[in-house]
Every structure is written in C-alpha cells, then in structure tokens.
Structure 1
Amino acid sequence: MSETPVAAPPAVNDDGTGPDGLPVDRRLPRTRISNAIDRVILRVGNAASWIWVLLIIGIITNVTLRYVFGRATVWLEELQLYFYAIGFIIGLSYALTWDRHVRVDALADRWSARTRAWVELLGMLFLLLPFSVAILVEAVPYVMTSIRLNEGSPAPGGLPYTWVLKSFIVWGFLLIFLAALSRTLRCTALLFERPRPL
C-alpha cells in the first residue's frame, strides 16, 4: 500500500518570501494572475520604501535649519507631507499583498481557512473593490483638473506642481484595487478552485 506524498511547506527566506520572491502565505493558494499582480505591487512597494529615507532626511534638514540656523522653509515642510502621503498610499497595497492589513485577528484566528477565505472574499467583493473603483472614478477628473490648472501650493514659498501629489491618489488606489483583485483570486482558488491554484 503506497501512501500519498504530503507536499512540503514552502521554503521561507529571511525576509518572509518564498523561492519565487513572493510573500509566503500558507492559508491561501496562489494563482498565475495573483503572482503576476503581486510581483508588480512588491516591486513598486520596494522602490517606494526609499521614500521613508527621504522623509527622514527632510525632517532632519528642516529641524536643523529651523533650530540651528533660525530659518524656516515652507517648501521643505510641504515636501515632507508629500513624502509621507505618497509612502502611506503606496504602502496600503503593499500591506495588503503581504497580508499585514488590519483585521479582527481575535475572531479570524479561530476560523477555519475556508471561513476566513469566505469572509475575505465577501469583504473584497462588497467593500474594498467597489470602494477603490469609486475613489478612482472621482479621483481621475480631480487630478486632471489639477494638471490642467498647473496647480501649485497656495502658501508663499510653497511647492509648485501640487498635481504630482494628487496623482498619487489615482496610482495608490489603482495598486489597492490590483492587490484586492489578487486576494480575491486567491480566495476563489481556495473556495472554488477557479482560477486553478498553483
């Protein structure tokens, strides 16, 4: 009598990724489409993580100018807000891909994998995906108007090109939509085996 071989758990690198460079998550299977989406989001997120270094440099520079040299710069303060806003909105999709988003773990930890997948699927289909689409529908004309007006800071000495910051509403929520789509496909792969799990 031969026994059915049991699949070995995926190898985990020091950074929490598997051999394919994607985050290891034993609860939901992966699909070809979700892998492609996750790779894009992880590349963008890894590149955007350098914005936090720039933010720290900006804060140190601003504090030094203000308290050591007695000079305040409006544009540098605004630049810090830009860095923070961009890092935060890009980080949302990154957190969703890594499964580090906020949820009620006190309940979720007691549920079976299928129950968790159902809750996540319904949350994606009825909350996150529609919300992302609604934001994108409203944000695109908002950003286009800002570009057309070549909008800048109303503060004296502030930064020009405010539309650059506003455009990250579109980019950020597009990434959030893609991350939610990837999680949705992984949930359906577990629950219905569609698309086919890898």
Structure 2
Amino acid sequence: MGGLLALSRGIDRTSKFIGRSVAWLILVAVLVSAGNAIIRKVFNASSNMWLELQWYLYGAAFLGAAAYTLCEKEHIRIDILYGQWSRRAQLRIDLLGHLLLLMPFVTLMNWMLWPWILRSLHSGEYSTNSGGLILWPGKMMLGVGFSLLAFQGISEIIKTLAVMRGDLPDDGYQSSEERVSAEAANRIEAASSETTE
C-alpha cells in the first residue's frame, strides 16, 4: 500500500499545482473580456478571436481545476443522507461512487475524446467563425481535463481504501474546509490549555 500511497501523493501534488496555476486564467479571461468590451464600445471594432479566447481561458480554468476540486473534496455532493451515516458507510459510498460512476465516465470520455482531438490537431482545424482561432487547443483542454480527473479518481480510490484499511489517518482525508476548521479548533484548544496552566 505504501507505493500506491506514494503514487496518490504524487497525483495530488500535480492536481494541486495545476489547479492553483489555472486559477489565474480566470483573471486573464476577465481582462480579455473587459478589453474586448471596451474596444467594441469605444472603437466600434471587435473580433471573434477575442470571444473564442475567453472561452478557451474559461475552459482551461474549469477543466484544469476539476481534478484539484476533487482532491480538495470541494466537489458537489448531496449530503442529506450522507452526513447522517457512519464514517465507514461514507467511505464505502465514496469508494463505490468513484469506482462505479466517476471512473467509467472519465474512461469513456477519454476513449471518445482523444481520437477527436488528434484528428483536429493533425488537420489544423480552424473555427468556422470569421477571425476565429484554431480549434485543437480548446479540444485538447477537454482531453487533458478528463485525463487529470481520471488520475485524481485513481488517487481518491487509493486514499479511500487506505483509510478503510487503517493505513491512512482519517483526518488526512478531509476537505480543505474541514481541515481549516479542525486546525482552528486545535489552535483554540491549545490556547485555552495554555491559559489554564
């Protein structure tokens, strides 16, 4: 299990690095959007290139951050029943969800996307819009995003199994919000114990 946990840590580090890096693309997209709007209103000029560049930037940010979101346990879950079950039941649900829903979905997406992406790359496919951009980078983002999500799914399966086996402490398997809350509670407890001494 040690080798699998090392693989999981490597995947997590990669997902976090990429997720934090692509977050800046939102700012770039906003600046491009604002610049395009100003040019259109002030100079009565515009280009489809700027609109498509916005789509590319937003797409890269969201697709690049999908694996990071899963790694940080910030993905959307319906906790109506989940939160009432034991931690063991929650881990089983997470494992089944990753194995039966996430992994088949990302596998199918990757299997279908990559030939489509490669055809676009080899043909040098351009947008049909006047002044549009080449299309393969946008399509490539889809493939890369789903590939990263597939690797992060593998990491989540490894971590879930490790927690269930007792090879990984459960406190290391919390969302970033839960970790911050736990750290804050620990600091408050430490501060209160210092004042009582």
Specify if TM > 0.5: yes
2:153 is aligned to 180
State the secondary structure of the residue aligned to 1:157: coil
Distance in structure 2 (CA, Å) of the matches to 1:165 and 1:61 = 21
> What is the match of residue 140 of structure 2?
167
Name 2:183's counterpart in structure 1. none
Gaps of 5+ in 1: 1-29
1:48 deviation in Å? 1.0
1:189: which partner in 2?
162
| Structure with the largest fraction of helix | 2
Whether the 8 Å contact between 1:114 and 1:190 is mirrored in structure 2 is no
Q: Deviations over 1:128-187 (max 9, x none)?
A: 01111111111110011001110011111111x210110111110111011111111111
Q: Deviations over 1:56-100 (max 9, x none)?
A: 111110110111221122110111011111111112111101100
1:60 aligns to 2:34 (yes or no): yes
Query: What residue is the counterpart of 1:13 in the other structure?
Result: none
Q: How does 1:1-198 map to 2 (within 5 A)?
A: 31-159=5-133, 161-193=134-166, 196-197=167-168
Contact 2:15-2:152 within 8 A present in 1 as well: yes
Query: What's the offset of the Cα at 1:106?
Result: 2.1
Assess if the C-alpha contact under 8 Å between 1:37 and 1:182 holds in 2: yes
Query: Aligned partners of 2:157 and 2:145: how far apart in 1?
Result: 18
Scaled by the length of structure 1, the TM-score of the pair is 0.80
- Cα RMSD after superposing both structures: 1.5
Report the Cα offset of residue 50 of structure 1: 1.3
Q: Which amino acid in structure 1 is aligned with residue 142 of structure 2?
A: I
In structure 1, how many angstroms separate the alpha carbons of the residues matched to 2:15 and 2:92? 24
Q: Is the CA contact 2:19–2:66 (under 8 Å) kept in the aligned structure 1?
A: no
User: What percent identity do the matched residue pairs reach?
Assistant: 28
Please give the alpha-carbon distance, in whole angstroms, between the structure 2 residues aligned to 1:164 and 1:59: 19
Q: Give yes or no for contact 2:5–2:158 (8 Å, CA) kept in 1.
A: yes
Q: For residues 122 and 19 of structure 2, what CA distance do their matches in structure 1 show?
A: 29
Give the count of matched residue pairs.
166
Gaps of 5+ in 2: 170-197
Length-normalised TM-score, structure 2: 0.80
